[in-house]
Structure 1
C-alpha cells in the first residue's frame, strides 16, 4: 500500500492514492476528480442479496428479481450511489444453449460423479452476469542464481554456480473483484481474450445483471503481485535455469504496475440433483467452465472396500508366510 495519502474534501477522511472513493462518505477521491477519464457512475438499479450479500445492478428487463449467485429472491433495493465504472467490457459470445450443453458435458465427466448426474440434473437458474475484474500490467526485472550439475569441462566440483538477469512486460493479469465468487472460481475461468474488449457504451448493460466491484484496487494489488511473480518464475525456470539445478533463487522487482477495472462475461448457473443445488460457471467468451457437484458415495465405498480387502489379504498373506517360515525353521 502506498504511503501517499490525501484528505477527502467532504468529511476529511484519509484517502490512499489507489482509492477511487472515500471509505467514510463515498465521495470520489480528489486525484480522480482531476482526471478526465470517468472512474465512477451512478447506480440507480442497485440491489443487495440478503442471502449471500452480493451487490449488483440488476437488469431492468429481468422477469424476476432473483440473485444469480445463490438463487435467492430476497433482494433489497439500495439507495442511488456511485460505483466504480468499468473502463472496458468484454461482450458475451457463448449463448444460453451452448452454456447448457457445456454444463451437461462437464458434469457427466469424472469417476467420482454419479453416473446419472448429467441426465437427472435439473437447471434451476441461469443468468448472464458481467463480473468485475481488475486487469493489471507491470514491468518485471529479475536477478536469479542457481547451482547446476552441468559443470563446465575441467571443473573439479560436482556443482557449478550460475547467475543471470531477465526482464519482461506483462499485461492482462486478471484478479477477480467479485464479492461472492471465490478467487479460485474467478481464476479457474481464465483466460479471457482481452483484445476483444470494447468501451462500456458499446454494450447494453441494462440487459444484464452487473455485479459491482467488491474488491478495492489496493486489495487486488497483492494478488496481482503474486500472479506476476509466479509468471516470471515460470518464465525464468523454463528459459534460463538448466534442468538439473538446485538452490534456485529468483529475486524480482516489479515496477510501473497499472490496472483497469473491467467487466467480463460469465454464465452463472444453478442445477439441482437429489434436492441439493450446486453452482456452475461458464466463461461467456470461450466456454471454459468450473463448478461444484455431488460425489458418488457408492463408488467411494466400493473403492474403500476394495482397498480394505486388499489390505486384509496382504496381512493374511504375511501371517501365512510367517507361519510357514516358523514351521520350516523347526
Structure 2
C-alpha cells in the first residue's frame, strides 16, 4: 500500500505552492497568492499528523510480512530484492499517482502533476530535524554564480565555458549533524630568527633558536558534517560558511519546491570528521600566534575535546550537473550565502 504524503496547495486556487527564498513566503505560481510559513503550518498541521501516522502504519505493516505468499522472483536478477528494499512507494494526494522514491527521500515533486510533495513521516519522532535553514538564493542565482565561477578560472578551456551545458539543477535540503563543544590545545614549536652582518671581509649569518609554547581554549558551536551518503563530502565542505543566525525551528512548510533527504549516516559515523575539524582549527589558531620569527616548526601538538550537544539540521544546497566533451561535472552552491 502506498504511503501517504502531503501536497502543499494554494488555499485560494489549489495550485502548487513553493517556498521563495526572496520573499520568505510560500507562493503560488498560478494565482500569485503568498502565505507566511506560520499560516501554512497552521493550515496543514492536522494533514501532516495524519500523513505521518499513515507512514508509520504502512512501514510497520510492510515489515510484519502479513502476506501468506510471495511472488516467485527466482528468475529475476539477484539484486532486485536489495534494490526494492531501499525504495518506498508514495501516493500523490493531488492526482493519485504512485511515486517510487529512495527510502531517504523526504521532499520531492510528482512527475505527473508537478505538485511539490512532502513525506511528513520521514521527519517524525527522532527523525525530526531541530532546525532548517531556508533557501535565500534562487535557481537563477545559482546559474549566474556558476558562470562567474567559470570566468574566475584562467586555465579553464574556453570551450568548456562556451559549450558546457547544464543538464540538471536542483535545490536540495541536505541533512547535517551540527556539533557543539570546546577544545583545549597545546603546541610546542622550534623557531628561528636570523640576521646577517659583516665582519671584515666576511659575511656572517647568526641564527638564534627558540622553543615556543602555546596553550589555548576555543569554543565550537554548530560544526557541520553532512549526514547524507549521496552527497560528496568535499562539495559540502567547500560551500561553507552558512549564517546560522538565520536558522529556523524545523517546519516542513519550508520544503515545497525543493528536494530533501533525511539522514542516512548516523551521528557516530560523523563524529571523527567533526573532531578532526575542531582539532585542526585549534592548532591553526595556535600557529597564527607565533610571529616575529623567520621559521617555526611544530614539534608537539595535543588537543583535548570536551564534546557537547549535537543538533540535526537541513541546510540549503543548489546542485548543478553539467556535461562537456562526454563527461559529467557536478557543482554545488550554498543556497543561502552563495
> For 2:337, what is the secondary structure of its paired residue?
coil
> For 1:227, what is the secondary structure of its paired residue?
helix
Q: Counterpart in 2 of 1:129?
A: 172
Whether 2:301 is the aligned partner of 1:258: answer: no
Change (3 A) 1:147 1:208: same
Q: Is the 8 A contact 2:132 2:251 kept in 1?
A: no
Q: Counterpart in 2 of 1:238?
A: 288
> 1:193 & 1:286 partners in 2: Cα distance?
8
> 2:55 & 2:330 partners in 1: Cα distance?
28
Q: Counterpart in 1 of 2:299?
A: 248
Whether 2:234 is the aligned partner of 1:187: answer: no
> 2:138 & 2:328 partners in 1: Cα distance?
22
From 214, 225, 232, the counterpart of 2:275:
225
Cα offsets for 1:11-50 (capped at 9, x unmatched): xxxxxxxxxxxxxxxxxxxxxxxxxxxxxx879499859x
Q: Counterpart in 1 of 2:222?
A: 172
Q: Is the 8 A contact 1:150 1:159 kept in 2?
A: yes
Change (3 A) 1:181 1:80: closer
User: TM-score, normalized by length of structure 2?
Assistant: 0.59
User: TM-score, normalized by length of structure 1?
Assistant: 0.60
- How far the C-alpha of 1:168 sits from its partner, in A, is 1.4
Q: Counterpart in 1 of 2:106?
A: 57
- How far the C-alpha of 1:275 sits from its partner, in A, is 4.2
Q: Counterpart in 2 of 1:99?
A: 142
Runs of 4+ off more than 4 Å: 41-49, 79-83
- How far the C-alpha of 1:58 sits from its partner, in A, is 3.0
> 1:278 & 1:165 partners in 2: Cα distance?
44
CA RMSD of aligned residues (A): 3.5
> For 2:322, what is the secondary structure of its paired residue?
strand
Whether 2:219 is the aligned partner of 1:163: answer: no
Q: Counterpart in 2 of 1:21?
A: none
Q: Is the 8 A contact 1:129 1:208 kept in 2?
A: yes
More strand by share: 2
Q: How many residues align?
A: 229
Q: Which runs of 5+ in 2 are unaligned?
A: 1-51, 60-85, 89-101, 195-206
- How far the C-alpha of 1:150 sits from its partner, in A, is 5.0
Whether 2:252 is the aligned partner of 1:210: answer: no
Whether 2:184 is the aligned partner of 1:141: answer: yes
Change (3 A) 1:125 1:173: same
> 2:113 & 2:275 partners in 1: Cα distance?
38
> For 1:191, what is the secondary structure of its paired residue?
coil
Whether 2:312 is the aligned partner of 1:269: answer: no
Change (3 A) 1:172 1:81: closer
Change (3 A) 1:253 1:271: same
- How far the C-alpha of 1:160 sits from its partner, in A, is 2.9
> For 2:248, what is the secondary structure of its paired residue?
coil
> For 2:251, what is the secondary structure of its paired residue?
helix
> For 1:116, what is the secondary structure of its paired residue?
helix
Q: How does 1:60-79 map to 2 (within 5 A)?
A: 61-63=109-111
- How far the C-alpha of 1:116 sits from its partner, in A, is 2.8
